[in-house]
Amino acid sequence: MRIVVLRNNLILLGDLKLILAVSILALVLSTACARYAKYVPDPVKHIDRWMGNFEQQRSFSYSYEMRTDFLLASASGECVIGKGERLRGYWDRGGKVQDFEYIGVGDIEYARIDSDWEKSSRGEQSDVFTQIKRILIFGDFEYEGFDDSYLYRFRANAPFLAPDRRKEMIGLIRVSAEDYLPQFIWTGLPDSSIYWKAQIFDYNEYKDIRPPIRDYRDFYVRDSEQAGDDVYDVIEKRLDLLELNYRLEPWQDGLLLSLPIQYELEDAQRILRPGGLNVYVVVDERKTAERIAYLKDDMHAPVFLSDLLFTEAKVRAAEIKFDARSTPYIELRLHKRRRMPRTIAFEIDSVLVATTALDTLHEMDRISLYPEMQYHDLEILRASIKEPLGDMKISPAGGEIR
């Protein structure tokens, strides 16, 4: 038998073959245990999932054009989903052209009139994201074929174009073959005499949309369980994770938090939710469970929980990523590798937000959390995992700072 010399060690050739075979087998097994195999798109079965993903993106840019019997409008803009939009363009009413510019944040709209900004309640002219969702609301997409992208026909919901002919409206949408998100949407009458169309691009690039007028709303924040300095530091870290434009200072026996005017009390409470993380083992039968929880508090979605697997103390990092289908998720990285069960559940603020089937009994240090929510809400969820808070008492502090 031949002998192979490796770094002054003697190995029999037969043993070397065995080592190579075992290494190859290990590689195959590790690949088979991955959370997701290579994604193979099915344009007929997956279109509803792709449309759901559209609402879960962080941001996008767009240009649109609309023609009715009395109006031609054209604009381009940027949208940060769940936060706001900024756009500018023009209206042409029978040859009379008027420029416009809007910034919409929350429920507030700012319109530029000449050189000044006027504030009012937000309308759909500054909310193209809502216009797109409304047009696609019926969700009955018929696959038309592929030509560098997936093409679909659908029954459009666009009564604003021609109320007396809304049943005649048709719609077309192109979905990218790279990220499975809408590239182009067209809806109108079959003869194209009336239509609305939009190009959508630059998904998830960083965009910062702020009101043109710096108005703030004040909130009084207290936490009786922690010292003031500790509370200040933790809240500051939480707000920095969310990249908010805020002011924070000691006030009375608590803190004064100033947020941009579009943030209401409910928003402040969501931003400063206690957070933390409990990850449980999920079992198949009620009789082996230690308790029953309900997914997103839905009484029709019971989950049987067994042992507590770990808490946020075992999490080294939490980052938002997108998978091959453009679905956002939170990747949790643990301090150490550990053996995982086949199914686990994630509980935050006593609410079961998601379950995950791991398809492995091997040790791992990364877990994917898919709560299925808008990106902005996913950011708050991530921040509440990384920087847990006590039970904050939040109330309006009276008035606005200008």
- Reduce the DSSP state of residue 366 to 3 states and report it: strand
Confidence of residue 120 (pLDDT cuts 50, 70, 90): very high
Domain count, the chain: 3
pLDDT of residue 32: 34
pLDDT tens digits, one per residue of 46-73: 999 999 999 999 999 999 999 999 999 9
For 228-273, write each residue's pLDDT tens digit. Answer: 557 899 999 999 999 999 999 998 889 999 999 999 999 999 999 9
What integer pLDDT is reported at residue 35 of this predicted model? 45
Tell me the C-alpha distance between 173 and 41, whole Å. 17
Same domain, 238 and 353: yes
* % of the chain residues with pLDDT over 90: 80
Q: Give the pLDDT score at 138.
A: 86
276 and 169 both lie in a single domain:
no
CA atoms of 48 and 143, how far apart (whole Å): 12
**Does 220 lie in the same domain as 128?**
no
Q: What is the DSSP string of 19-63?
A: HHHHHHHHHHHHHHTSSS------TTTSHHHHHHHHTT-SEEEEE
Q: Is pLDDT of 18 > 50? A: no
Residues 6+ apart with CB under 8 A from 147: none
| Count of beta carbons in the 10 Å neighbourhood of residue 198 | 22
- pLDDT over 50 at 284, yes or no: yes
Which residues constitute the domain of residue 387? 214-402
Do residues 107 and 222 share a domain? no
Angle between helices 375-386 and 228-241 (to 10 degrees): 150
Residues 241 and 303 placed together within one structural domain of the fold: yes
Mean pLDDT is lowest, of 74-78, 199-203, 213-217, for 213-217
Q: Report the alpha-carbon angle 158-180-364, nearest 5.
A: 135
Mean pLDDT of 116-124: 93
Q: Say whether both 197 and 251 belong to one domain.
A: no
Positive/negative CA dihedral, 375, 234, 331, 289: negative
* pTM (whole model) above 0.75: yes
